[in-house]
Copies of this chain bind each other. A is one copy, B any other.
Amino acid sequence: MTIKIGLVGCGFISRSHLRGWRRVPDAEVVAVSDVDLARARERAAEFDVPRVYGSLQEMLQAEALDAIDVLTPPPGHKELVLIAAVYGKPILCQKPLALELSDAEEMIAACHRHGVRLMVNENTRWDPLVQALRSEIAGGTIGTPFYARFDSRYPIAWPTTEYPNSFLLNKHRFLTNQTRLIISEKMIHFIDVARFLFGDAETVYAQTQNVSPLLRGDDLATLVIKFPQMFIVVESSWCSKGYIRPSRRFVSGAIEGTEGTIFLGGQRGVTVVSDQRGTYVPAFDPDPQEEETFYRAQAHFVECLRTGAPFETGPEDNYKTLAIALKAYESAASNQVVAIPRLDAGGS
C-alpha cells in the first residue's frame, strides 16, 4: 500500500525533499501546500504533484493523507505540528524542530496526547560519512576518544570578493530575519553527529558573534560541549572572509583517541591514522549528494511507519540535540555554562 504524503512548505529545500520522495518505494507526495499559492503551484508542476493547497488545514480537510512532511521555516513548525497532531497524522518535521525548547516540549506533548508519531528530519545522521565514523569509533581503531573538533566555515553571510552572490541572502532569505541563526540552523547537524558518536552531553558553553550587517542572528559561534569522558569543540562561521569554499563534506576537524586520530575534511572526507592500522581511508560513498541523505531519512520514516519500529531521530533523541543547540544561546547570552536538560516523561 502506498503511503500518501502531504508536503508543507515549497521553498528552496522542497526540491531536495521532493526528489527524495520520488525514490522512496511505496510513498507518494499527493499534495503540497504553501501560503504562497503561486510557489506551491510551480513546485507541484515541476514534480507532477496532483493537488495544491494554500494551507495545511485545507490540505488535511480535502485529502486522505497518511503522513505530513513539514519543511517551512522553523518559526512555523509549531503551529503546523499541532494541527497535524489534531488530525492524527504522523509527522516528519525538518530540523530544527523549534527555536525555543518550550515550543518543542509543547509539540512533543501534543503528539503524545494524540498518539501521533513524530520524527525530526535530521538528515545528516544518514550521511554515509557519519555512519563510517561511527563504525570506525565502535571498531576501536582510534582507541578511546578524548577530544573532537568539528569546524565548518562558509562565506555566505554577505557578498565577498570571492562570493559576490551570497547563498544565504539569495536562497535562504527567510534566515536573514531569524535571531537564532547559525547554531540552530547549521551547527545543530554537527551537534547531532557528536551525540550519535559520543552519547549524551552534560553541559554546553557558547560564544557567538553577529558580524554581517545583513543578518539579525548569530553568524559565527563556538560551542564547547562536555561529555562524561571527553569534550568537543564545534565551530561554524558564515561571516569569515578569505576562506576558500570547502567541499560539501560536512566539516573539517578531527576525532582524537588514545590509539589514533580521525582527520575530517581531507580529499575523501576522512583519513584515519591509527597505531594499530597505520594510515587509511575508511570505505564509504565518497561524495553522496545531500539529497541522498534526505532520501535515506524519508525511507527510514516510511519504514518505521510500516513496521512500528522506533525512529532513529524521534522526539526523545532529537530533544537532546535540540537542547544543546538552544541552551547554547542561553550560555552565550549569560556567559555561563549551561546544563543540558532531558525531556520529561510523556514524549512519544
Known: A220-B147, A233-B233, A233-B235. A226 touches B241 (CB 8 A): no
**Given B142, B258, B337, which contacts A335 in the complex, CB threshold below 8 Å?**
B337
Nearest CB of B to A214, in Å: 13
Instruction: State A205–B257 Cα separation when bound (angstroms).
Output: 23
**With A226-B207, A259-B241, A261-B240 as contacts: A220 and B146 at CB distance below 8 Å:** yes
Give which listed residue, B203, B237, B242, B258, contacts A211 with CB less than 8 A.
Answer: B258
Smallest beta-carbon distance A219→chain B, Å: 10
A256 near B273 with CB under 8 A, answer no
Contacts of A237 in B (CB 8 A): 147, 256
Chain B residues with CB under 8 A of A257: 241
Residues of B within 8 A of A273 (CB): 241-242
Identify A233's interface contact among B160, B222, B242, CB under 8 A: B222
B233 & A256 in contact (Cβ 8 Å cutoff): no
**Interface hits, A196-239 → B, CB 8 Å:** 203, 205, 207, 209, 211, 220, 222, 224, 226, 230-231, 233, 235, 237, 239
0 or 1 for each of A57-78: is its CB under 8 Å from B? (1 = yes): 0000000000000000000000
Whether the Cβ atoms of B226 and A224 lie closer than 8 Å is: no
Give the size category of A's interface with B: 35 or more
Chain B residues with CB below 8 A from A226, complex form:
207, 335
Q: Give the chain B neighbours of A279 by CB distance below 8 A.
A: 242
Query: Cβ of A263 < 8 Å from any Cβ of B?
Result: yes
Enumerate chain B residues within 8 angstroms of A203, measured Cβ to Cβ. 335
Tell me the residues in window 320-348 of chain A with beta carbons closer than 8 Å to chain B beta carbons: 335-337
Task: Assess whether A275 is interfacial by the CB under 8 Å rule.
Answer: yes
Measured between beta carbons, the chain B residues less than 8 angstroms from A205 are 205, 224, 337
Binary interface profile of A, 104-142, with partner B (CB < 8 Å = 1, else 0)? 000000000000000000000000000000000000001
Q: Contact at A242–B220, with CB atoms within 8 Å? A: no
CB distance from A340 to the nearest CB of B (A): 12
Residues of B within 8 A of A242 (CB): 260-261, 263, 273-274, 279
Chain B residues near A337 (CB, 8 Å)? 205, 335-337
Report the minimum CB–CB distance from A122 to chain B (whole Å). Answer: 26
Chain B residues in 8 Å Cβ range of A147? 209, 220, 222, 237, 240
Question: Across the two chains, which residue of chain B brings its CB closest to A220?
Answer: B147
Asked if B241 and A256 sit within 8 Å, CB to CB, the answer is: yes
Are A222 and B220 neighbours in the complex by a CB distance under 8 Å?
Answer: no
| A and B contact pairs by CB, cutoff 8 A, 10 listed | A160-B275, A205-B337, A207-B224, A209-B230, A240-B256, A241-B275, A242-B261, A242-B274, A242-B279, A336-B337
Q: Which 4 A-B pairs have the closest CB atoms?
A: A242-B273, A242-B261, A207-B231, A205-B205
- Residues in A lying within 8 Å of B, measured CB to CB: 142, 146-147, 149, 160-161, 203, 205, 207, 209, 211, 220, 222, 224, 226, 230-231, 233, 235, 237, 239-243, 254, 256-261, 263, 273-275, 279, 335-337
